[in-house]
């Protein structure tokens, strides 16, 4: 008699429409899978869209506009950026840009051996962070960056990655994009940058709020000379072929 009562109780519970423990777990799993698939779809659409559409702004730009009251930003097409600016950026930030698929494993190993005191992010990773994500050293941001970077490398040409990178990078507080930076610091268009001017702009990329390309400190000047030499080197040895 007790077993019949228990059976009726379970049947009644099912009849109410309330999921059992196993049913609830299954429902949560299905919604989690759907959420992941939706996120993957949105990322794929965003990657495909920005291959041909110029990002109008970024989360970091919006944050800086809110903080400062205004920012300066304008887009400069790839063909209107001096080739030496591309080479200077690569020499400064990612000398093996043409040789990797988004991650420089050698640089990552060296960073680990150095105790994490040196950066290992490639230009591709920095572009993903600047365009799609937010600034900050969180595991969530780094995980999303690692997931999106291979997609960008697979869909965007290397030259497009550099074009977007140079147009959303900060070259001074509230100063975004190589075109605006060239005009602000040197009074020239991005297409007219000299090798020294390009190297100075590249030298401020790691710390644009404290470094000034127009009034460079002795350190920035030394760093710019190193970048200038590096840009000439990658031009000679073929490491600039993928974007020239």
Question: Quick check: 239 and 98 in contact, CB under 8 A?
Answer: yes
Instruction: Specify the pLDDT at position 115.
Output: 62
Q: Which of 82, 56, 51, 87 is nearest to 176 (CA)?
A: 56
Mean pLDDT by 10 residues, the chain (244 residues): 48 53 80 84 92 96 97 97 98 96 84 65 96 91 93 97 98 98 98 98 97 98 98 96 95
Instruction: Specify the pLDDT at position 214.
Output: 96
Q: Which of 170, 110, 122 is nearest to 150 (CA)?
A: 122
Chain-centre distance for alpha carbon 196: 26
Instruction: Specify the pLDDT at position 15.
Output: 47
Instruction: Specify the pLDDT at position 29.
Output: 83
Instruction: Specify the pLDDT at position 112.
Output: 74
Instruction: Specify the pLDDT at position 50.
Output: 97
Q: What's the pTM?
A: 0.85
Q: Which of 120, 87, 89, 127 is nearest to 106 (CA)?
A: 120
Instruction: Specify the pLDDT at position 11.
Output: 47
Instruction: Specify the pLDDT at position 189.
Output: 98
Instruction: Specify the pLDDT at position 117.
Output: 55
Instruction: Specify the pLDDT at position 116.
Output: 58
170-172 and 72-73 beta bridge pairing = unpaired
Question: Quick check: 218 and 64 in contact, CB under 8 A?
Answer: no
We find that the CATH architecture of domain 57-237 is Orthogonal Bundle (1.10)
Break the chain into its structural domains and give their ranges. 1-53, 57-237
| Residue 175 φ then ψ, to 5° | -110, 110
Instruction: Specify the pLDDT at position 18.
Output: 59
């Amino acid at each position: 008699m007790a077993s019949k009562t228990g059976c009726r109780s379970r049947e009644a519970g099912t009849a109410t429409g309330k999921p059992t423990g196993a049913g609830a777990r299954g429902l949560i799993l299905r919604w989690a899978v759907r959420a992941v698939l939706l996120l993957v779809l949105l990322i794929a659409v965003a990657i495909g869209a920005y291959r041909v559409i110029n990002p109008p702004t970024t989360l970091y730009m919006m944050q800086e506009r809110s903080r400062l009251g205004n920012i300066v930003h304008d887009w400069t097409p790839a063909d209107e950026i001096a080739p030496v600016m591309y080479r200077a950026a690569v020499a400064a930030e990612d000398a093996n840009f043409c040789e990797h698929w988004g991650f420089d494993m050698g640089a990552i190993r060296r960073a680990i051996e150095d105790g994490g005191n040196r950066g290992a992010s490639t230009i591709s990773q920095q572009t993903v962070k600047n365009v799609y994500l937010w600034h900050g050293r969180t595991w969530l941001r780094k995980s999303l960056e690692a997931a999106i970077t291979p997609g960008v490398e697979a869909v965007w040409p290397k030259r497009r990655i550099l074009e977007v990178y140079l147009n959303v990078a900060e070259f001074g507080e509230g100063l975004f994009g190589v075109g605006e930076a060239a005009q602000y610091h040197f009074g020239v268009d991005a297409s007219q940058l000299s090798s020294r001017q390009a190297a100075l702009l590249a030298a401020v990329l790691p710390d644009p709020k404290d470094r000034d390309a127009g009034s460079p400190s002795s350190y920035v000047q030394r760093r710019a000379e190193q970048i200038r030499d590096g840009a000439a080197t990658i031009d000679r040895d073929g490491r600039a072929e993928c974007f020239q």
